[in-house]
Amino acid sequence: MRLPPGTYFMQGNEACVEGAIMAGLRFYAGYPITPSTEVAEGLAMRMPEEGGVFIQMEDEMASISAAIGASWTGAKVMTATSGPGFSLMQESIGYAAMTETPLVVLDAMRAGPSTGMPTMVGQGDVMQSRYGSHGDYPVIVLAASTIQDMFDLTIRAFNLSERYRVPTILLSDAEVGHMRGKFTVPTKVEVIDRAVRTDKVWHDGFAYDESLVPRFPVFGRGSRVHVTGLSHDIAGYPTNDAEVHEELVRRLNDKVALHRKDICNVELTRPDCKVLVVTYGSPTFAAKEALRSSPELGMLELKTIWPFPEELVAKACSTVEEVIVMEMNLGQAFKEVERVACAVGCKRIRLFSKLGGDVPSPSELLRFIGAGG
């Protein structure tokens, strides 16, 4: 049963589970990895209750492959992992992008690289979430910073993935996933389903209109559609034709670019500030606390990381004196913010990069801002 409207106290990962069920998740295939395991364990309990399917597969590649297969039967699918597993899934993320398979992947980031510190926070997968797979492929990446985000953004991830037929990644981290807190379920939750094709798709299974999104031919309804990761024409047949390949790859990427306004989202607090702190994930708590004691600070929370919300970030950066990007990596979102802020003439952009696995404290942030770099 989906959560009725009200206020709840749950762990971040548990809120993600409830968000997925609210969005209509029907199939979960996963592999345990800290700090995302609670999602798998929660769904192992909840999926049979909702009439869905849960399976623990033998590795991450099997998990995402099974999810992709299930998606083609019309089901909403998800898998959850962390950095090392996310790296293993990259090939299939590219496959989902190429075949336009709706899919949600939760990446609960942890300190890396490699095995790193499984139970500690890191934010080192930002670039990987965009460019982890090979080739030019579209992907939507959202970032959760609170328990409420874990609920809301999971639903939003499903909605975006279904509407645009693009694999959508929700980045959380070890802290946001494991902490417990309040979140609210509203009376009305918007849930979007993929537009389904009901006729035979003999020679045009991947035909599209001005939205650039083909309607989805569900398996088992006589569509007789051929799906392949090879470069294909609108019939789905593999081809090496140069024009067809160019049209396909450009359309796949334009699909996301065309709908940026719908996809990109940020939360701006105190837009008339002098110093803007751009951040996402668990470091946002330090920023929120710092804003309380320092009136000249403002905060820009990136809710969508990819496609990078250029217009929204540029607008916020154009009126401030200084931009501080706070993240727990060596500067991944920073590169994008710097590019955008410089273009609108912002004079000072600094990176507050904290590694080590412990979330930055408000005083650390204030000290960094005060230190002037």
| Binding-site ranges for other proteins (CB under 8 A) | 26-27, 29, 53, 55, 57-59, 61-63, 65-75, 77, 91-92, 95, 99, 217, 219-230, 237-238
Both tokens of residue 255? 């699909």
Q: Which is nearer to other proteins, 91 or 247 (CB)?
A: 91
Q: How far apart are CA 341 and CA 168, in angstroms?
A: 26
Task: Report, in Å, the least distance between residue 203 CB and other proteins.
Answer: 8
- The answer, yes or no, to whether the previous bond of 35 is cis (omega within 30 of 0) is yes
Give backbone dihedrals phi and psi of 106, rounded to 5 degrees, phi first. -95, 125
Q: How far apart are CA 50 and CA 43, in angstroms?
A: 10
Q: Pick from 166, 96, 138, 133: which is nearest to 257 by CA? A: 138
Task: Report, in Å, the least distance between residue 180 CB and other proteins.
Answer: 32
Q: How far apart are CA 40 and CA 28, in angstroms?
A: 8
Task: Report, in Å, the least distance between residue 122 CB and other proteins.
Answer: 28
The DSSP bridge pattern shows strands 25-30 and 6-11 to be: unpaired
Q: Which is nearer to other proteins, 85 or 281 (CB)?
A: 85
Q: Which is nearer to other proteins, 30 or 283 (CB)?
A: 30
The amino acid present at 234, given as its one-letter code, is: I
Q: Which is nearer to other proteins, 39 or 225 (CB)?
A: 225
Task: Report, in Å, the least distance between residue 65 CB and other proteins.
Answer: 4
Task: Report, in Å, the least distance between residue 7 CB and other proteins.
Answer: 33
Task: Report, in Å, the least distance between residue 348 CB and other proteins.
Answer: 46
Q: Which is nearer to other proteins, 235 or 268 (CB)?
A: 235
DSSP classification of residue 146: S
Task: Report, in Å, the least distance between residue 139 CB and other proteins.
Answer: 16
Give backbone dihedrals phi and psi of 277, rounded to 5 degrees, phi first. -100, 115
Q: How far apart are CA 157 and CA 125, in angstroms?
A: 17
Q: Pick from 106, 87, 103, 86: which is nearest to 95 by CA? A: 103
Q: Which is nearer to other proteins, 96 or 351 (CB)?
A: 96
The amino acid present at 45, given as its one-letter code, is: M
Helix (H) or strand (E) holding 277: strand 275-279
Q: Which is nearer to other proteins, 58 or 272 (CB)?
A: 58
Decide if 131 contacts 180 (C-beta within 8 A). no
Q: Which is nearer to other proteins, 113 or 222 (CB)?
A: 222
Task: Report, in Å, the least distance between residue 231 CB and other proteins.
Answer: 12
Decide if 68 contacts 91 (C-beta within 8 A). no
Task: Report, in Å, the least distance between residue 213 CB and other proteins.
Answer: 19
Q: Is 56 helix (H, G, I), strand (E, B) or coil?
A: strand
Q: ∠ CA(216), CA(262), CA(268), 5° rounding? A: 150
Both tokens of residue 79? 């898998």
Q: Which is nearer to other proteins, 53 or 258 (CB)?
A: 53
